[in-house]
Amino acid sequence: MKRICLYLVVIMVGCIEPYFPSELKSNEPILIVEGFLNTNGDSKIILARSRSIIDSSQPAFETGATVWIEDENGNTTTLTNTWNGNYILENISLTAPKYRLRITTPDQQQYASEFVPVLNAPEIDSVTWRATNNEKIEVLVSTHGEPTSSPYYQWTFEETWEYRSYLNSQYFFDTNSKSVIYSNQNNYTCWRSGLSSKINIESTNRFNQNRVSNLPLTSFGWNDERTTVKYSILVKQYSLTKDAFTYWQQLKQSNEDIGSIFGPLPSELKGNLKNLEDETKPIVGFFSIGNATQKRIFIPNSAFPPPSTFRITPYRECTYDTLFLSNIPEFSGPPSYLLGGELYDGDRLIGYSYSVAFCVDCRMSGGTNSKPSYWQ
């Protein structure tokens, strides 16, 4: 196991190394509720079940629960369980100022959240980026709201970037006929995407304006795969209540800010939901509802500064070889190899470059070759 030892400060030789305590008690699975019912798009609530930290199996979800929202007059709208623990609100017409979430789990436990106000986020002023002098690209968000509207914000994002495989292939090798066949299928350019994993929140109530200026959301190295062709990020902005902000802040502290000498101690999360019959039955989570706003930006590779080190891509170890036309009869072909481009001696085609499939087909490193609809 590789040890990462850091000089934390001065002469003190601090050392952080991977570690798992030998005895971890596992509790009864706890019902977890996560979600912001975004009436302006992905309107979903996730019901999950906690599991042991050392459990590396598939995530556990709560399926088959009855989930609905309810206004203060008792009008209800039911959410549909689409897949796993995802519950979707399909017919969005929010008319009341406040709603609460109700859940009946398959084991007939009744849960309810507090009534929360429908909060509409202000428009995002800008999503920008800057290159820092430690060779990072930082994506920043700025916004402002009405002085009287909520000073608490949360952002999530979805980033997508275009990348290319090691060899551009227009041919494939047909093992049956032992021949090279032209193909128009694109497996050279792919798109990879990811969701924000960090909790991004900010409060402006220490400022004299309800304004967030250049708050860093995410960063990656100049040599990251994201900088190779084109990068795009879609930032979603939510307005939070004070309680929701506190909940996310606590979750952030216990999950991300932990581990430094003066770091906060982890603490028990409570949230705004409870079991209606037995308050001691644990449920963790926070229910929020409102309209999110969003903004997307694109950054082409030409805009990024050149890194001082090799780019970190899945293709760093790739090499190619040449398949001469004369060698085609003996060539064993796929699945382990794929052809790249044509090789010419003057005007004469003499063969094809080839490499292992992973280096040729960009889909094999996890991306998709279908161009996203929003891609520019």
Partner 1 sequence: MKHSFLVCITLLGLSLFLNAQDTSQPITGTFNNVKFSEFVSEIEQQSNYRFYFNTHELDSVRVTIQAMRKPLNEILNLIFKDTEFRYSIDRYAYVYVTHRNPIIAELPTYFFSKDFAATESTDLDNTRFTEAEKVKTEKVLVIGTRGTNTKATATLAGYVRNNKSGESLVGVTVMIEKPLIGAVTDGNGYYSITLPKGPHVLKINSLGMKGVEKSIILHADGRLNIDMEEDVLPLKEVIIESSRDETVLGLQMGLEKFDFKTMKQLPVALGEVDVIKTVLTLPGVQTVGEGTVGFNVRGGATDQNLILFNDATIFNPSHLFGFFSAFNPDIIKDVELYKSGVPAEYGGRIASVLDLNTREGNRKKWSGSGGISPITGRLAFEGPIIKDKLSFLISGRSTYSDWLLREIPSSAINKSEASFYDLNANLNYEINPKNNLAVTAYTSHDAFKLQGDTVYSYQNHVLGLKWKHIFSNRLLGNLTTNYSGYEYTIQSTANPVNAFNLDYSIRQLQTKADFDYFINSKHALSFGAGILRYDLQPGNYQPVGSESIVTPDQLQTEQAVENFVYVGDQFEVSPKLLLYGGIRYSLFANLGPRNIYLYPQGTVRDAGNIYDTLTFTKGKRVVSYGGPEYRFSARYNYTRNASFKVSYNRHRQYLQMLSNTTAIAPTDVWKLSDPYITPLIGDQISLGYYLNHGKRSIEVSIEAYYKWMQNFLDYKGGAELIQNHHIETDVLNAKGKAYGAEFMIKRTSGKLNGWFSYTYSRSLLQTKGSSSVETINRGSVYPSNYDKPHAINLIANYKFSRRYSMSANIVYSTGRPITLPVGKYTANGVDRLIYSDRNQYRIPDYFRTDLSINMEGNHRIKKLAHSYWSLSAYNLTSRRNAYSVFFKSENGVINGYKLSIFGTIIPTLSYNFKF
Please tell me whether residue 214 binds partner 1 under the rule CB under 8 A: yes
| CB nearer partner 1, residue 124 or residue 284 | 284
| CB nearer partner 1, residue 247 or residue 315 | 247
Give the residue from 140, 101, 98 showing the smallest Cα distance to 237.
Answer: 140
Q: Which residue has the tokens 């402006």?
A: 204
Residues of this chain, 80-119, that bind partner 1 according to CB under 8 A = 85
Cβ 369 to partner 1 shortest distance, Å: 21
Please tell me whether residue 147 binds partner 1 under the rule CB under 8 A: no
| CB nearer partner 1, residue 62 or residue 70 | 62
| CB nearer partner 1, residue 5 or residue 181 | 5
Burial label, 216 (beta-carbon count in 10 A; 0-12, 13-18, 19+): middle
72 Cβ contact list (under 8 Å, min separation 6): 96, 98, 115
Tokens of 195: 């969701």
Q: Which residue has the tokens 């990072």?
A: 136
3-state secondary structure of 191: strand
- The region of 245-253, 295-303, 304-312, 327-335 touching partner 1 under the rule CB under 8 A is 245-253
Within a 13 Å sphere around the CA of 157, how many CA atoms are in the beta-carbon half? 24
Cα–Cα distance between 46 and 39 in angstroms, integer? 15
3-state secondary structure of 165: coil
Burial label, 165 (beta-carbon count in 10 A; 0-12, 13-18, 19+): buried
| CB nearer partner 1, residue 269 or residue 343 | 269
Helix (H) or strand (E) holding 253: helix 242-255
Residues of this chain, 180-199, that bind partner 1 according to CB under 8 A = 195, 197
| CB nearer partner 1, residue 169 or residue 223 | 223
| CB nearer partner 1, residue 279 or residue 347 | 279
| CB nearer partner 1, residue 61 or residue 331 | 61
Please tell me whether residue 276 binds partner 1 under the rule CB under 8 A: no
- The region of 276-284, 293-301, 323-331, 358-366 touching partner 1 under the rule CB under 8 A is 276-284
Q: Contacting partner 1 (CB under 8 A), which of 207, 324, 344, 375?
A: 207
Residues of this chain, 328-347, that bind partner 1 according to CB under 8 A = none
Please tell me whether residue 1 binds partner 1 under the rule CB under 8 A: no
Q: Contacting partner 1 (CB under 8 A), which of 83, 93, 146, 265?
A: 265
Q: Which residue has the tokens 């789990």?
A: 105
Give the residue from 159, 161, 162, 158 showing the smallest Cα distance to 188.
Answer: 162
Residues of this chain, 218-237, that bind partner 1 according to CB under 8 A = none
Give the residue from 316, 343, 321, 341 showing the smallest Cα distance to 332.
Answer: 321
259 within 8 A of 245, measured Cβ to Cβ = no
Residues of this chain, 20-79, that bind partner 1 according to CB under 8 A = 20-21, 24-27, 29-30, 32, 34-35, 46, 48-53, 55, 59-60
- The region of 6-14, 178-186, 291-299, 342-350 touching partner 1 under the rule CB under 8 A is 6-14
Cα–Cα distance between 313 and 185 in angstroms, integer? 22
Q: Contacting partner 1 (CB under 8 A), which of 75, 82, 128, 209?
A: 209
Cβ 225 to partner 1 shortest distance, Å: 14
145 within 8 A of 239, measured Cβ to Cβ = yes
Q: Residues touching partner 1: how many (CB under 8 A)?
A: 71
Please tell me whether residue 9 binds partner 1 under the rule CB under 8 A: yes
